[in-house]
Structure 1
Amino acid sequence: MGMSTTDQPWGCPNSSSNRTSKPSRNSSSHPRAPLEVVSSAQANFLRHFKRFDTVEDFSDHHYVSNGNASKQHSKTWVKKVQVDWKIFLENNLPETIFVRTCESRMDLMRAVIIGAEGTPYHDGLFFFDIHFPDNYPSVPPMVHYHSGGLRINPNLYTSGKVCLSLLGTWNGNTREQWLPRESTMLQLLVSIQALILNQKPYFNEPSYEQGRLRAWGKGAWAPGPKQFLTKIRTKGTPSGEAYSKVYSENVYILSLRTMVYGMRKPPKHFEEFVRSHYFERAHDIVKASNAYIEGAPVGSLVKGTSQGGSMQFRNEVAVFMKTVVDEFVKLGVNELEDILEPPPVIHTNTSR
């Protein structure tokens, strides 16, 4: 990407991508010219950052030891990988997915997915390393999630394992499995975004332990036989939605931790992207977190609803956002400390 140290966007002290130039005073009665919109260096960088591109090396790739540059692949393998590349090059990638491949190691790929609005993953960056084995496309690719040791989803393990029918790592119906002649990398990445990083990830949870379901992240357990638990955790039921709400609160806290992990240790070839992304999204992230601190449910900016966040969640957001803001400030983002909401006040009834 060829940027010098002085050109790196995170070195710019501006904290907004839409600053306007200050108009000069003019006593003339003529109409004023429209204000010029000045984009930040970070916004300009993101605007020109290609959704798909090739890089020279992947020395930090999770699967780098699974092959080498001189390895010969079958014609079928090469053709399929080139087809995947062509699909990406034809601008079929969504605006929230970016991919890098390596010409000398065609078996390696790296992708980042931006968390969607309305989910507990909003504004976050989630990285995946992909490897095409020798018998690809007869078998699906191998995918490793950059977890940072955080379990942000039932389908994303701290080890980096991605649990998805399309990958053959979870038993789904036939229509959801990898089809060598039909399935593509684009389909896989979009599936991860839509089926895993979704609005209510709690309902991705497939596991039961000894007939009891764990309320993930809170250490609570729901008693009763498996059949009863299947009913209470069903989407749309009061109990199921209550479990989902607690789950999403935990996910948002872990998503904030993932942001910090990514800013401190960005994957290779995405360093500038990570810093520029969070520079531009910093105020939105603080705004959303402030709304959660004030009682809005996760994924919404509606304050004071009856389905608002728990007091424990609101306190955890307020406390950890101090760490997040510290990282934003290191990127050059200004005017954040003063707008961050303090922890909510817990009113206790002292009357007898």
Structure 2
Amino acid sequence: MAAATDKNNMERFDVVSDVADHYFILPNQDSEGLSRVGSDVYKKIMREWKILARSLPDSIYVRVYEKRIDLLRAVIVGAAGTPYHDGLFFFDMAFPPDYPASPPDVHYRSYGYAINPNLYSDGHVCLSLINTWLGRKHERWEPARSTVLQLLLSIQALVLNEKPFFNDVWSEFFPLGRFFLIDRSQAYNEVVFALNCRTMLCQLRHPPRNFQTFVVAHFRDRARAILSACDDYANGRARVGNYGEAGEGWKSKVRVSAKLRETLVMLYPQLFEAFVLNGAFLGCDEERLRMEKRDGLCKSNVTRRKYRVIMGKVFGRIKSIYNSTFKTSHKS
């Protein structure tokens, strides 16, 4: 079952043996019926394997298990143009005993962060295609037609999208409300990107099994772009999700919230140190980025903080003079 490989020679589809940290390993210990060669469920799962091995896009990687064919793990690389860019999003799946009559169970490896209205902090995935959300009939699981590949592509396109704020339930009933909530959507993107960065840190410290090499290679490759995006977003050179693939943000200044800036000022050095430990930079690059970390985000933040302190003192002095003048005139 040959599968395509990426530029780091990582196979997009592979059969592995280590299943120890899979989310569904305990609830589905009895998988004899699914593993019995010749059974209908076994044949269907083998067809799923063939589809995945042949048709996975560049941004999705899958690992299946030789002794637990009822389990599967996938990772989706966050797409450019979204607040999920350069992130890794892992999903554990389990085929039910009556598959494909019922859809797979799906768990998002959240590390405790709710990065999307459809992806909860406890790992629950809310999606019509797996019957965990209402949806129209054509959006729900169809045993004769639906596949795991379709499910992964749906998560990539419909969940990890450029405006996840509008994934929430109200958007389906009040679609015209989008026009009046663009600012709320952008603010949500800022929160999502910060959580994306926090998730990266967790993955570097505790990468899921069978993807350790992949996680290392991915963040070595994307470390510079991630740090540059943090810098551009914090300094108003690009809106979250609009960082250029060429490594340059927008030339014009955009409004950046104080909360996002403070969060990225805190996360930037943590990401930098994690990338250094991950072997992302050569010696000269590391020293240059250390200087950027010290003189860029942090220095600018100190300047802004000093400005706020000075202006606070000025306004305090004006207020004091005003109160004194008011009291004098009132007495006279």
Does TM, scored on the shorter chain, surpass 0.5?
A: yes
Q: Whole-Å Cα distance in 1 between the matches of residues 41 and 204 of structure 2?
A: 35
AA at the equivalent of 2:61 = F
State the alpha-carbon separation in 2 of the partners of residues 300 and 164 from structure 1. Answer: 26
CA contact 1:99–1:110 (8 Å) conserved in 2? yes
In the alignment, is the contact (CA less than 8 A) between 1:115 and 1:122 conserved in 2? Answer: yes
Q: Identify the residue that residue 270 of structure 2 maps to in structure 1.
A: 323
* Aligned counterpart, 1:219: none
Q: What is the distance in 1 between the residues matched to 2:266 and 2:216?
A: 22
Shift in Å at residue 69 of structure 1? 7.0
User: Does 1:338 pair with 2:288?
Assistant: no
SS in 2 for 1:137: coil
Q: Is contact 1:97–1:112 with CA below 8 Å preserved after alignment?
A: yes
Larger radius of gyration: 2
Residue 112 of structure 1: CA displacement? 0.4
- In structure 2, the CA distance between the partners of 1:70 and 1:122, relative to structure 1 (3 Å rule), is closer
Residues 66-85 of structure 1: pairs in structure 2 closer than 5 A: 66-68=27-29, 71-73=32-34, 75-85=39-49
Preserved CA contact (<8 Å) 1:46 1:277: no
Which of 297, 303, 306 is equivalent to 2:239? 297
Amino acid at match of 1:118: G
| Paired letter, 1:137 | P
Give the Cα separation in 2 of the matches to 1:168 and 1:178: 7
Cα displacement string for residues 153-212 of structure 1 (whole angstroms, at most 9, x for unaligned residues): 11101111001000101111111100000000000001001111110100011169xxxx
* Change over 3 Å in CA distance of 1:171–1:291 after alignment to 2: same
**2-structure distance, mates of 1:303, 1:88:** 37
Give the distance between the partners of 1:304 and 1:65, measured in 2 at CA: 52
Cα shift at 1:113:
0.5
Task: Name the TM-score, length of structure 2 as normaliser.
Answer: 0.80
* 1:156 partnered with 2:109: no
Q: Which has the higher contact order (CA 8 A, sep 6+)?
A: 1
Q: 1:305 deviation in Å?
A: 4.4
Q: Report the CA distance between 1:309 and its aligned residue.
A: 2.3
Checking the alignment, whether the CA contact within 8 Å between 2:6 and 2:12 is kept in structure 1 is no
The answer (yes or no) to whether the contact 1:298–1:309 under 8 Å persists in 2 is no
**Residues 126-158 of structure 1: per-residue CA shift (max 9 Å, x gap):** 100000010110011000000000111111011
RMSD across aligned C-alpha pairs, in angstroms?
2.2
Q: Deviations over 1:81-109 (max 9, x none)?
A: 1111011122x101010000012110000
Q: 1:84 to 1:284 in 2, by over 3 A?
A: same
Match of 1:256 among 197, 203, 208: 197
Distance 1:125 1:285 in 2: 12
Question: What is the distance in 2 between the residues matched to 1:82 and 1:338?
Answer: 53
Q: Does structure 1 conserve the Cα–Cα contact (< 8 Å) formed by 2:105 and 2:130?
A: yes
**Alpha-carbon distance change, 317 to 304 in structure 1, aligned in 2, over 3 angstroms:** farther
- Aligned residue for 1:142? 105
Q: SS of 1:175's equivalent? A: helix
Whole-angstrom CA distance in 1 between matches of 2:107 and 2:242: 30
User: 2:170 and 2:22 mapped to 1: Cα distance?
Assistant: 30
- Residue 47 of structure 1 and its aligned partner are, at CA, apart by 2.3
**1:205 corresponds to which of 146, 160, 168:** 168
Contact 1:46/1:276 (8 A) holds in 2 = no
Q: Which runs of 5+ in 1 are unaligned?
A: 1-43, 209-226
Aligned to 2:215: 274
2:326 match = none
| 1:204-250 Cα distance to aligned partner (Å, 9 max, x none) | 11169xxxxxxxxxxxxxxxxxx9xx47x822x1x310110110000
Report the alpha carbon displacement of residue 304 of structure 1 after superposing the two structures with TM. 6.2
Classify 1:70/1:186 alpha carbon distance in 2 versus 1 (closer, same or farther; 3 Å).
closer
Contact 1:263–1:274, Cα closer than 8 Å, also in 2: yes
Corresponding letter in the other structure for 1:337: R
What residue in structure 2 maps to residue 115 of structure 1? 78
TM-score by length of 1: 0.76
2:18·2:209 contact (CA, 8 Å) conserved in 1? no
In 2, distance between residues paired with 1:138 and 1:45? Answer: 34
The amino acid of 2:239's aligned partner reads P
